[in-house]
């Protein structure tokens, strides 16, 4: 009987852990970028006011690299603009030329 309770406890714990992971992963695609449903803007000059608490992600689309990420409280403003260096440094860091880069902005509510 003791083994049954241990097995039951382990099964419940495993299901709880796995369902939590599935919920977290449902917010992101296979590249680790937020799902399209969280897209709220784009471009190189971002001004966004959070409608509720959450996390914002400024992403370079072609490489799936996160440029900037920040937690926001309701009503808090996120501002960002294009990096001042549009040349070789940007390309070395992001893996794409500034001219080919595509900026997207996502917000995932908490």
Q: What total of structural domains would you count in the chain?
A: 2
User: For the chain, what is the radius of gyration of the CA atoms?
Assistant: 19
The predicted structure's pLDDT at residue 83: 67
Q: 89 is in which domain, residue-wise?
A: 33-109
Same structural domain for residues 95 and 84? yes
Average pLDDT per consecutive 10 residues, the chain (110 residues; last block may be shorter): 46 48 72 95 94 97 93 96 74 86 95
Same structural domain for residues 19 and 46? no
Same structural domain for residues 52 and 89? yes
Same structural domain for residues 25 and 1? yes
The predicted structure's pLDDT at residue 85: 64
What pTM did the predictor assign?
0.73
Distance from C-alpha of 82 to C-alpha of 105, rounded to nearest angstrom: 13
DSSP bridge pairs for 68? 58
The predicted structure's pLDDT at residue 92: 86
Same structural domain for residues 25 and 39? no
Distance from C-alpha of 48 to C-alpha of 53, rounded to nearest angstrom: 13
Name the token pair of 74. 């309701």
Residue 16 CB partners (closer than 8 Å, separation 6+): none
């Amino acid at each position: 009987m003791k083994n049954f309770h241990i097995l039951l406890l382990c099964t419940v714990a495993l299901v709880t852990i796995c369902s939590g992971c599935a919920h977290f992963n449902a917010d992101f695609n296979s590249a680790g970028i937020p799902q399209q449903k969280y897209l709220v803007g784009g471009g190189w000059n971002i001004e966004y006011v959070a409608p509720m608490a959450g996390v914002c992600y400024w992403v370079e689309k072609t490489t799936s690299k996160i440029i900037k990420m920040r937690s926001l409280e309701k009503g808090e403003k996120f501002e960002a603009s294009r990096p001042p260096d549009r040349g070789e440094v940007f390309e070395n860091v992001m893996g794409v030329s500034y001219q080919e880069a595509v900026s997207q902005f996502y917000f995932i509510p908490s």
